[in-house]
Homo-oligomer: A and B are copies of this chain.
Amino acid sequence: MAVKPSTQDKSRTFSDVQSQNSGLVSLCLPFTLESQDAAQLERIIEQSPPLKKGGHLFHQGEPFTAIYAVRAGSIKTYTVTNAGEEQITGFYFPGEMIGLSAIDTDDYPISAKVLETTTVCEIPYDSFEQLSNRLPSLKAELIKCMGKELREEQQMMLLLSKKTAEERVATFLLKLSDRFKRRGYSASLFRLSMSRNEIGNYLGLAVETVSRIFSRFQKQQLIQVEGKEVELLDLDELRIVSGEARHDEPLIP
């Protein structure tokens, strides 16, 4: 099944009004830049209007034009096999970059879909590349982001190859917790913007397995789930269940 061409999910360019871009870089991007460099970068990036759930940032196979940073909301990226199966490759939250794997290609190798009302910053890649030739620190920041993503994908390979279903779900919840915490939100109470189906797909599990493990974890007082709302009740035990910590070795040796 061929990849469908992009519908009018997004306006071609979000806005020609570059009015209030000030601070956008520090708000959206995981870049550490001198303020004058940030100002220059702000001139080439555009903030999207709120994107509706279900829309696409880009489709697999479409020409690569830009990378994105999430400003608010969440996004999933996924590849589609020739057999038509979908594999989610990542979930992205505010301050995280999307589309890095498309760099150096003509077409996006993945699709990016909006999970809830979301705003993003669009960074047209040719402008970015031109600018970064004058500002080496820009490229350096991009390289850092890519390195981080590489490490995350390696951890994901490990999860998919070696971890049990329980370990996968625990790892997933803890990873989300960490990311929310880093953003200043609660590390123990949050809302899952993705469906059970999407969690299962991402973790290489059937929906039913995810559901069962949520129930089991709840029974074990590890978590409290109610629909999309999740509370992590016992982070330490979750860490053990995830395979990241062990009973016999303390977290800080």
Q: Report A's interface with B, CB cutoff 8 A.
A: 79, 81-83, 85, 87, 89, 100-105, 109-110, 129, 132-133, 136, 139-140, 142-144, 146-151, 153-158, 160-162, 201, 203-204, 243-246
Q: For the complex, give the distance between the alpha carbons of A244 and B110 in Å.
A: 16
A132:B136 contact, CB within 8 angstroms: yes
Q: Is the CB of A148 within 8 A of B104?
A: yes
B157 touches A104 (CB 8 A): no
Q: Are B150 and A204 in contact (CB under 8 A)?
A: no
Q: A146 contacts which of B89, B132, B146, B204 (Cβ < 8 Å)?
A: B146
A160 touches which of B81, B103, B132, B160 (Cβ 8 Å): B160
Contact at B146–A147, with CB atoms within 8 Å? Answer: yes
Task: Enumerate chain B residues within 8 angstroms of A133, measured Cβ to Cβ.
Answer: 136
| Chain B nearest CB, measured from A104 CB (Å) | 4
In the complex the two chains form, is B143's CB within 8 Å of A140's CB? no
Closest B residue, CB atoms, query A154:
B89
Q: Are B158 and A87 in contact (CB under 8 A)?
A: yes
Q: Which residues of B contact A89 (CB under 8 A)?
A: 154, 157-158
Would A101 and B157 be within 8 Å (CB), given that A82-B244, A87-B162, A139-B136 are in contact? no
